[in-house]
Amino acid sequence: MKKAILVISFGTSYRETLERTIGAVEEDIRRAYPKYEVRRAFTSGMIIKKLHERDGVETDTVSDALEKLVNEGFSEVICAVTHIINGFEYDKIIKSAKIFSDRINIKITRPLVSLTEDYAEVIKAIGHIFDNDKIYILMGHGTEHFANAAYPALDYHFKADGFDNVYVGTVEGFPELGNIIDEIKKQECRNAVLMPFMLVAGDHAINDMAVEWKEALEAEGFSVECIMRGLGEYKGIRNLYIKRVEDEKRGAEHF
């Protein structure tokens, strides 16, 4: 019986962070499950198109990858989703997978932060990087989708776990940077660290975080350091994606 793990990411066109994050997640999953064929799919059509036109690199959509697996005689596929929340992109994955559910046994992992227990796991995975004498601001993507609630929930969990100097903001949702600035101005500390709460340190990290957010904080009198590491570069986070796969192998419901 042929089995596969399809690692599904939003994608990135930045080569270096691609290998350090998405590539690293895929490789760790490949090592953890040597009896499975591990393949890649992106959900961003724009990135797939850019990689094709710029680099001549072909990357499958979820539908393309599943079609190939069906045609090649695979009987089971675990879709290992690397997305952060249950947003629009995750909805697209579910919709695409359901089309093939009568032709191949499909299981889909949950995103990084979905269940209440996931917040504690994420904090444990990256909590070691936070110093007490600095303010840390994690930049999430944000969305109009109701799943955006995961970001303020994560902020709350950080505070509940004793990380009073860690804040979670978003580029396109709530909380915004302005909401965070209002809060951190109440603290005596003026040393701020920005880091992406995204799988890759791509366009948003390079342009929004390291330029616009940095300048906004400096204008308020903060000394700002930027950590240009996507979540995929942290071993603890990659282990959580492996754990999501293991959860599905142990008996998550099929379609």
Catalytic machinery residues: 141
The label of the residue with tokens 């995975």 reads 125
- Residue 212 CA to residue 34 CA, distance in Å, equals 43
Number of neighbours of residue 159 by Cβ within 10 angstroms: 14
What is each CA distance from 84 to 45, 70, 142, in whole angstroms? 18, 27, 10
**Residues in contact with 248: Cβ distance below 8 Å, sequence separation at least 6, in sequence order:** 78, 107, 108, 109
Question: Residue 146 corresponds to which amino acid?
Answer: F
State how far the alpha carbon of 49 is from the alpha carbons of 54, 60, 149, in Å: 8, 10, 31
Q: How far is the C-alpha of 73 from the C-alpha of 92, rounded, in Å? A: 24
Whether the CB-CB separation of 190 and 225 falls below 8 Å is answered with no
Q: CB of 70 within 8 A of CB of 103? A: yes
Q: Where are the beta strands (DSSP E) in 43-170?
A: 76-81, 105-108, 135-140, 166-170
Tokens of 30: 């490949």
Type of residue numbered 241:
Y
